[in-house]
């Protein structure tokens, strides 16, 4: 078991270890720390401390939250345990109190400050065609993760340049008849169909399957992904399960996906999801999740949002209370005009970050688009660096300009390299 603690002013690693009866070495190992530097506001995993037994920061009187035992349980029980906008106690799960009342009104002019964090960058790139100096970034920065879609061969170069970088691959496939047939058998069949390609690329650490499945039957998809993960393990391969689209799933949907997470942990998988915002990455930051299909709204917290940082709702409200700490990669991240479409400000037909540069200049006074985009990426990176279970995020996209032109991030690489090296 493990709990969590938010570092307070005056805390030391030695003091926290003594307070919770664990060794400094165990605390360092659980959080990926190489020294004793910790920062106010940083989240620490406490090995050997049950979540419900974890003392909370001494800023408010802690109120216990509903937790679900780490045993098989109906999805309804999981959903019932989720905090709601009216029922969530202060300091729910120890990560700061929900924002009272209606969610804060998002302002395009309110760029949130970087979160207090330590350690190297967690930013890599999503690549559909090796180009634009992306391998120079790998050589200089040694990012924690890189991803390739269809152009899988470049990941062999990544492995050679940076052996400790985790590589994720995905092949574009037809996603037909999702939700039909026996999901377990279809998961096994998927692996067997892709097996020759996977075995031909042993330099890939994890393989994603389907991309951005939004089929409403998450129980079916959970069974498919559970079977895929464990079938991959039988062949000496590892799966990346999930692959969720930005702004999804809703917590009540994700509760139905928990069996896939349990199987993924048993079978050596990681989980991936996508997070985008537009016209800036911090669209609707610190807002909660609205009511969905009769399920109550989820309260707002100051350290997450419905788009960027959405993964924290899934982990802090569902997975961590159950002791299910599956490693996470945000396998697509950045600016995408489809995020908040129809509700967000900015050009309605813009897609990637290059489609918003004129808006940034005219409305925000940000005339250096590359610098402004890197500042947003650095802000997002500060969130990822707070969470030890997050391996990293891959920025969409490097394609040599042949596809996804408005997302093309090659021009960002030099500035992002400077930022990443500044953290070393």
Closest C-alpha among 287, 274, 222 to residue 393: 274
What's this model's pTM, rounded to 2 decimal places?
Answer: 0.79
Closest C-alpha among 141, 145, 142, 148 to residue 126: 148
- The string over 179-191, giving b where at least 16 C-beta atoms fall within 10 Å of a residue's C-beta and e elsewhere, is eeeebbebbbebb
DSSP result, 250-269: -HHHHHHHHHHHHHHHHTT-
Are 153 and 190 in contact by the 8 Å Cβ rule? The answer is no
Per-residue pLDDT of the chain (424 residues; tens, 9 = 90+): 456 777 665 566 666 776 677 877 787 777 777 666 666 556 778 877 654 444 433 332 222 233 333 333 445 555 555 655 444 443 434 455 555 444 444 556 778 999 999 999 999 999 999 988 999 999 999 999 999 999 999 999 999 999 999 999 999 998 888 888 999 999 999 999 999 999 999 999 999 998 998 766 899 999 999 999 999 999 999 999 999 999 999 999 999 999 999 999 999 999 999 999 999 999 999 899 988 888 889 988 999 999 999 999 999 999 999 999 999 999 999 999 999 888 888 888 899 999 999 999 999 999 999 999 999 999 999 999 999 999 999 999 999 777 799 999 999 999 999 999 999 8
Q: Which domains does the chain have, with CATH numbers?
A: 1-57 (3.10.350.10), 123-422 (3.20.20)
CA–CA gap between residue 169 and residue 130 (Å, rounded):
13
CA–CA gap between residue 34 and residue 406 (Å, rounded):
39
């Amino acid at each position: 078991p493990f709990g969590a603690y938010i570092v307070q002013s005056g805390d030391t690693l030695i003091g926290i270890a003594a307070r919770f009866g664990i060794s400094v070495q165990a605390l360092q190992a659980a959080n990926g720390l190489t020294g004793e530097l910790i920062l106010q506001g940083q989240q620490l995993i406490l090995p050997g401390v049950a979540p419900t037994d974890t003392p909370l920061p001494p800023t408010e009187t802690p109120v216990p939250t509903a937790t679900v035992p780490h045993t098989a349980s109906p999805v309804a029980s999981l959903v019932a345990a989720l905090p709601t906008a009216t029922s969530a106690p202060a300091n729910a799960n120890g990560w700061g109190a929900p924002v009272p009342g209606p969610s804060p009104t998002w302002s395009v002019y309110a760029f949130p400050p970087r979160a207090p964090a330590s350690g190297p960058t967690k930013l890599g790139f999503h690549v559909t065609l090796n180009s634009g100096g992306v391998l120079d970034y790998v050589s200089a920065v040694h990012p924690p993760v890189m991803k390739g879609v269809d152009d899988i061969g470049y990941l062999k170069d990544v492995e050679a340049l940076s052996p400790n970088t985790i590589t994720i691959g995905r092949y574009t496939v037809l996603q037909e008849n999702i939700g039909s047939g026996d999901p377990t058998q279809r998961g096994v069949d998927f692996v067997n169909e892709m097996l020759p390609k996977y075995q031909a690329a042993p330099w890939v650490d994890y393989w994603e399957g389907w991309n951005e499945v939004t089929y409403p039957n998450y129980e079916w998809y959970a069974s498919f992904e559970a079977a895929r993960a464990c079938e991959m393990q039988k062949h000496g391969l590892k799966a990346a399960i999930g692959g969720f689209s930005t702004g999804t799933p809703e917590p009540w949907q994700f509760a139905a996906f928990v069996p896939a997470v349990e199987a993924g942990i048993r079978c050596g998988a990681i989980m991936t999801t996508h997070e985008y915002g537009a016209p800036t990455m911090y669209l609707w930051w610190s807002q909660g999740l609205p009511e969905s299909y009769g399920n109550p709204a989820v309260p707002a917290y100051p350290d997450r949002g419905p788009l960027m940082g959405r993964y924290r709702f899934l982990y802090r409200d569902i997975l961590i209370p159950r002791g299910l700490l599956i490693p996470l990669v945000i396998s697509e991240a950045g600016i995408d005009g489809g995020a908040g479409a129809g509700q967000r400000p900015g050009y309605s037909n813009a897609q990637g970050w290059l489609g918003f540069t004129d808006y940034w200049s005219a409305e925000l006074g940000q005339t250096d688009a590359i610098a402004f985009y890197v500042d947003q990426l650095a802000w997002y990176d500060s969130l990822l660096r707070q969470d030890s279970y997050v391996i990293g995020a891959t920025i969409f996209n490097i394609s040599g300009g042949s596809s996804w032109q408005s997302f093309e991030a090659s021009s960002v690489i030099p500035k992002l390299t400077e930022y990443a090296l500044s953290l070393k």
